[in-house]
Amino acid sequence: MEKKKSSKIRKIAFWPAFILLFGALIYSMIDREGFYAMADSANSWVLNNLGWTYSLTSFLCLVAIAVAYFSPLGDVVLGGKNAKPILSKMNWATITLCTAMAAGALFWGIAEPIYHMAAPPVGMEPNSWESAKFAMETMVLHWSIHPYALYTLPVIAFAFAFFNMKKPFSVTSQLSVITDKLHIKTGEKNLFPQILDTVLLFAMGLGILGVICTGTLNMGGALKEITGIQSKATAWLIILVVVTTCFIISSISGIHKGIKLLSNMNVVVYIMLLIIVFIVGPTAFMLDGTIEAVGGTLSGLSEKLLTTGAYASDPWAKSWTVFYAGSWGSWAPISACFLARLGVGYKVKDLIKINFGIPIVFNIVWSGVFSNLAINYQLTGKLDLIHILNTEGAEATIYAIFREIPGSKIIIILFFVALILSMITAMDSTTNSIAALSTSGISPEKQEAPVFLKVMWGILFAVLSYIMLTIAGIDGIKLVSNLGGLPNIFIILGGIICVFVIAGNVKKYDIVDQENEYDNEKEAEG
């Protein structure tokens, strides 16, 4: 009976989101220019009118995470004191790191600092030491503190609600304190959570497109370097077919086999890349630059997170930091449903360390090596990366850098492998969450969704990504993924409120602990 229940589609949650994404696919094929113009107009309106909410949410996430860690909430065991972990901390950490990092950091970790040196904020001279320092500080912000604050907060909210408040497997559960206060029914079959889930499923779909497209472009560049095949539509099609096939194989095996194995392999490749480039690159500059950039970022953290560019009429903040908040936000609430499940049997403090602490440290190291490598080559004149960026595109800058490094072929092959593994892991974990939200019967005891739903979503995302690549390019990809963050930002804001409330009175909301105490009392009486 349990198996039958878990494979039943939540029609209101699943079909509207699926039809909307499929409709977007059809529209983009019929009227490419109209599709792009509509997305561009919507994105501009969101950034100009609601960008401040993105910045504020990022900052409040940091505050809420700190409160959760140091309050009694931090010592709560997810699932109750008798709950058993399903993963070791090592496997948990590798899955979390690869799921959140995905292919984005591999691409932007090298290319993005050149953008900031070429076009820094108003008042800063392009291609100067000042713009270089700013670029590296921005990388520390954009690829460590900023994203993982937005990722981790929903994980805390959902994990506590799902495991300790016995709420259903729905994004709505992240708002459990608010919905309970308003007497809103949040069962799997109730209308409100299903409508909310379908909106967020659609938003998540837009977010995953950005990651898949970025990864495909990057792999296209690597494939060109290795084989000479041009990074065009045919190459992108081949890459997406291969990645989707591998993802399907992985999804069949479930969390404990496919994703775990891929994540462990992925981290090994990451570390190999880091060690090689750190040794053969400008090592002293990497170390010095990273230390200085971390110091600069931390000293002005609140200002950097809350900058909107309003007074200088500077579009830089909205184009980058605010945009990223929307992009991360498009993933966060639904990714939380996947990442939270991995933490059962561990304390909330452990969850914060694994989802926030370790990824931040790793990504600072990653940026410290690869971003500083790009900055050093530009500052010293070894390569004119700004020129390459403006004439050949972002992916070309990456491989121009690699060609200058001793053992470039090995590095490019390792980079290509890392990209493939990152893409497969991202698709597997994302579709795992989306498929689970599309079905009823998901519980702490039975967490896997039907394979056919994972495969269906994965194929749809692959097809949509191919269409987006051929019609919009990197700028179009960025704006579409950013649009997905709009509804999710308000979910994250609600989750922040819930975490604050729960942290202030953990005993009231920890239903599992209350039941355990009741059972212990009964046993004592017996």
Three-class DSSP labels, 375-440: HHHHHHCCCCHHHHHHHHCHHHHHHHHHHCCCCHHHHHHHHHHHHHHHHHHHHHHHHHHHHHHCEC
- The first and second tokens of residue 125, run together, are 């001279």
Q: Which domain covers residue 262, as residue numbers?
A: 2-515
Which amino acid belongs to residue 350?
D
The reply to whether 521 falls in a domain is: no
- Look at residues 311, 328, 371 and name the one whose alpha carbon lies nearest to residue 116: 371
Bridge partners of 347, per DSSP, are 77
Torsions phi, psi for 439 (to 5 deg): -125, 160
pTM: 0.89
Beta strands, E only, 277-344? none
Residue with tokens 């029609």: 11
The reply to whether 522 falls in a domain is: no
CATH number at residue 292: 1.20.1740
Residue 1's pLDDT is 36
Distance CA 486, CA 326 (A): 6
The reply to whether 117 falls in a domain is: yes
* Crossing angle of helices 191-227 and 473-483, rounded to 10°: 160
Residue 5's pLDDT is 41
pLDDT in tens, the chain (526 residues): 334 444 577 777 778 877 887 787 777 677 777 777 787 788 788 888 888 999 999 999 999 999 999 999 999 999 998 899 989 999 999 988 887 666 678 888 999 999 999 999 999 999 999 999 999 999 999 999 999 999 999 999 999 999 999 998 888 899 999 999 988 887 767 788 878 888 877 777 777 777 788 788 888 888 888 888 887 888 889 999 988 888 778 777 766 677 788 889 999 999 999 999 999 999 999 999 999 999 999 999 999 999 998 898 899 998 899 888 888 887 788 888 888 989 999 999 999 999 999 999 999 999 999 999 999 999 999 999 999 999 988 888 999 999 999 989 899 999 989 888 888 887 787 787 788 777 876 666 666 677 888 888 888 888 888 877 877 666 666 666 667 778 889 999 999 999 999 999 999 999 987 876 656 656 656 5
- Look at residues 59, 46, 167, 75 and name the one whose alpha carbon lies nearest to residue 496: 59
The answer to whether the beta carbons of residues 398 and 221 sit under 8 Å apart is: yes
182 C-beta neighbours (distance < 10 Å), count: 9
Residue 519's pLDDT is 61
The reply to whether 524 falls in a domain is: no
The reply to whether 525 falls in a domain is: no
The reply to whether 452 falls in a domain is: yes
- The first and second tokens of residue 407, run together, are 């053992």
The reply to whether 520 falls in a domain is: no
The answer to whether the beta carbons of residues 377 and 385 sit under 8 Å apart is: yes
The answer to whether the beta carbons of residues 138 and 322 sit under 8 Å apart is: no
The answer to whether the beta carbons of residues 368 and 286 sit under 8 Å apart is: yes
The CA distances from residue 421 to 237, 368, 430, in Å, are: 17, 22, 14
Q: Is the dihedral of CA 258, 259, 262, 264 positive or negative?
A: negative
* Crossing angle of helices 394-403 and 358-380, rounded to 10°: 80
Distance CA 425, CA 96 (A): 10
Instruction: Using only the alpha carbons of the chain, give its radius of gyration.
Output: 22
Contacts 24+ apart (CB under 8 A), 227-235: 231/395, 233/466, 233/469, 233/470
When divided into structural domains, the chain yields a total of 1
- Look at residues 140, 400, 397 and name the one whose alpha carbon lies nearest to residue 289: 140
The reply to whether 276 falls in a domain is: yes
